Structure formats: structure tokens, C-alpha cells
Amino acid sequence: MLYAKSKKLADEFNISLTAVREVRRFIAEHPERYGPYGLIGNLIYIPAFIDAYKCHRTPENAVRPPYMPEQALELIKGVNV
């Protein structure tokens, strides 16, 4: 499954729900990066989550690497989300 709820992501990636909420907010604030399917209701697209977790604390004026969901998909092959 390529989408997961916040609790599941917090458990699988061993981070707090607060951190997941910060990343979720970042995805919502950057539709130009993650498109319309980064969030669907209460589900988060896992490749977008991985990228946003990496980038969400980068200053707005800093250059971020391009979003490449295929690389994120490689990272989650062994994760049970």
C-alpha cells in the first residue's frame, strides 16, 4: 500500500505523531511539489512523506533537491506500511 495513516507512519518510522503532523502540514503547504495526491483525506502518500520528512525543516529560500518518488519507493520496499 502506498498510502498510510499518521499513526502507522509514526510506528513504522519510529517517530512521534507530532513529527508526522509537521511533515503532513509541509506536504499540504507544497502542492506544487507533491501534487494533488500527496494527501488524500487522512491518508499520506508514503513517497511524499519520505521526501517531506527530509525537506520540511529546510528554509523556504534554500534549494531543495527535486522530488523523486521512485527513490522513495526503493526505500520502502521492506517496510510494512
The pLDDT tens digits for 26-52 are 999 999 999 999 999 999 999 999 999
* pLDDT > 60? residue 19: yes
* pLDDT > 90? residue 11: yes
Q: Which residue in the block uniquely carries the three cell numbers 502540514? A: 25
Q: Which residue intervals of the chain are DSSP H helices?
A: 6-13, 17-29, 31-34, 46-55, 69-75
pTM: 0.86
Task: Give the SS3 label for residue 38.
Answer: coil
Residue 81 lies in a domain: no
Residue 80 lies in a domain: no
Residue 57 lies in a domain: yes
Residue 52 lies in a domain: yes
Domain enclosing residue 17, as ranges: 3-75
What is the total count of domains within the chain? 1
> How far, in Å, CA of 50 to CA of 44, rounded?
10
* pLDDT > 90? residue 72: no
Burial (Cβ within 10 Å: 0-12, 13-18, ≥19) of residue 35:
middle
